[in-house]
Structure 1
Amino acid sequence: MPETNSTPPAFCVALHDVAPSTWDAYAGFVAAVKRLNIPLTLLVTPDYHRQGAVERHPAFVRAIGQRLESGDEVVLHGYYHDDPEPLGFAPQEWFMRRIYTFEGEFYRLAEAEALQRLQQGLEMFARLGWRTQGFTPPAWLLGAGARRALQQSSLSYASTIHTLIRLPTFAELPAPSLVWSSRSAWRRGLSRIWSKRMLARSRSAPFLRLGLHPVDMQYPAVQAYWLDTVRELAETRQPLTKAAWLERQA
């Protein structure tokens, strides 16, 4: 059964795919929300697209450390954020791994490999002094092996596109996400329509998540949409990180 809560409604601003190669794209947005005193949940990938471990980038490490000191949260977001594993023949697997996304890293991993990547990511973050409670799989895709691995980890929660999951029990809390597909004009147009409808349907949700991606920052209209949405939600909801909201639940 999903957990219930009686705390005031809240929302979270989550930046996906945070890495040395993507951090500059977020600079303007991060500065804007800092002026609004909005905490951020930073989904950091330890070795994004195998471009090099984050700990090899001192300027990035310092920047994230400063964000943590200001009240932000770091979440483990996969390890490589890619999916080069061989494909099977099942139509669903082809759809999920090559049409829906090419980056569902934790969708097909066996338990042992998933656990190893979780541990390596957490150990890296620990060396950097980053306390990490949560995990968000790339593309929000969790396979059976990854689910079993999460139950053995030190993490206290994981995220899907619709819920937050307490670990190790896998108790689910409703937490709908707004997310755009910004890679083409027609996708951005549909995303605007979908987001408007999603906001209307989620008015009574106790916790609403905004899921931003680096590609969103390439388009001023999309970045403006996210800032306007943050301002609108802040009028009726409390801005919190994921971990802070979970700590307030019974």
Structure 2
Amino acid sequence: MSGRRRLLASIHDVTPVHTARLDRLVPLVEEAIGPGRFALLVVPDFHKQGLLTADPGFGRRLRGWSDAGCEMFLHGFTHLDESRHDSSVARWKATRMTAGEGEFLGLSTHDAETRIAEGRDMIEQLIGRSIAGFVAPAWLYSEDSIAALAAQNIRMIEDHFRVWNPQTSAVLARGPVVTYASRSPVRIASSILWSRLATMLLARAQTVRLAVHPHDVDSPRLLAEIARALAAFARSHRPSPYRDLVPG
């Protein structure tokens, strides 16, 4: 394994709403790459079903994961897209690339800044340290939301194909993210196919990103493939934190 090759693993949609699923998903990731060697993408009020601060027990779990080494990213605020999209491109992304969850695809700069500031403060109060960065739900951003992230001094964000600094536009890593879709049998099958191809095609890539979601545990086939892919990538790449992408 090359010391320069990195595996950046992450669990999305970390919220008390998904506690039971996270109870299965976190140990699977830990078994493959070790405790504290993956990122957690936290949603402060997932689908408006309850703030993080309303569940002290879950807040303590977040602090424990953070203390163990997990990086915490703000992952939107509600994970719901309630914007009206005027452009055909934005409407296509909102309907084809996600099921109504591209929260930051249509926000104004002001609204995005408000959610970023409130969400970051909530998470940082719970974990006692700064967040590592921001990842938009469904990896979808508007130009205004990127401007808001830069204004809020967020220095690391990612989409489907890169990790970058919104303040300087400096790209920290390139390459497709390996992720999984569980909404239908067709999506499950295509996710498994992509994952198996990716472990071959990306075996020599400098940086590999693999992202999983709580609903992945609803499919035994997906869970088995995630465990296989994580183990395969962990043999060719060193499980690493996102902060290792930052020069110096």
Q: Give me the TM-score of the superposition, normalised by structure 2.
A: 0.91
Mapping of residues 34-45 of structure 1, within 5 Å: 34-36=30-32, 37-38=34-35, 39-45=37-43
Please identify, of 158-167 and 32-41, the stretch whose mean Cα deviation from structure 2 is larger. 32-41
The aligned counterpart of 1:216 is: 216
1:27-65 deviation per Cα after TM superposition (whole angstroms, max 9, x unaligned): 123123334525120000111111121011111111111
Mapping of residues 68-79 of structure 1, within 5 Å: 68-79=66-77
Equivalent position amino acid for 1:71 in 2: G
Question: How many percent of aligned residue pairs carry the same amino acid?
Answer: 27
Mapping of residues 9-158 of structure 1, within 5 Å: 9-36=5-32, 37-38=34-35, 39-88=37-86, 90-101=87-98, 102-128=100-126, 129-158=128-157
Task: Give structure 1 stretches of 5+ with no counterpart.
Answer: 1-5
The aligned counterpart of 1:3 is: none
The aligned counterpart of 1:227 is: 227
Shift of 1:7: 5.8
> For the Cα contact (< 8 Å) 1:74–1:130, is it kept in 2?
no
> For the Cα contact (< 8 Å) 2:66–2:72, is it kept in 1?
yes
> For the Cα contact (< 8 Å) 1:176–1:202, is it kept in 2?
no
Whole-angstrom CA distance in 1 between matches of 2:175 and 2:60: 31
> For the Cα contact (< 8 Å) 2:139–2:159, is it kept in 1?
yes
What SS does structure 2 have at the residue aligned with 1:74? strand
Whole-angstrom CA distance in 2 between matches of 1:155 and 1:87: 25
Shift of 1:130: 4.1
The aligned counterpart of 1:198 is: 198
What SS does structure 2 have at the residue aligned with 1:15? strand
Whole-angstrom CA distance in 1 between matches of 2:151 and 2:237: 34
> For the Cα contact (< 8 Å) 1:176–1:205, is it kept in 2?
no
Shift of 1:82: 0.4
1:169-227 deviation per Cα after TM superposition (whole angstroms, max 9, x unaligned): 01112143101111111211111112222333322321111110111111122111111
Task: List, as ranges, runs of 4+ consecutive aligned residues in structure 1 with deviation greater than 3 Å.
Answer: none
What SS does structure 2 have at the residue aligned with 1:109? coil
Q: CA RMSD in A?
A: 1.8
Whole-angstrom CA distance in 1 between matches of 2:29 and 2:112: 34
Number of residues paired by the alignment? 242
Please identify, of 189-198 and 114-123, the stretch whose mean Cα deviation from structure 2 is larger. 189-198
The aligned counterpart of 1:174 is: 174
> For the Cα contact (< 8 Å) 2:10–2:211, is it kept in 1?
yes
Q: Give me the TM-score of the superposition, normalised by structure 1.
A: 0.90
1:89-126 deviation per Cα after TM superposition (whole angstroms, max 9, x unaligned): x4323211123221111111111111111111111122
What SS does structure 1 have at the residue aligned with 2:188? helix
Name the CA shift for 1:198/1:34 in 2 (closer, same or farther; >3 Å).
Answer: closer
The aligned counterpart of 2:159 is: 160
Equivalent position amino acid for 2:231 in 1: R
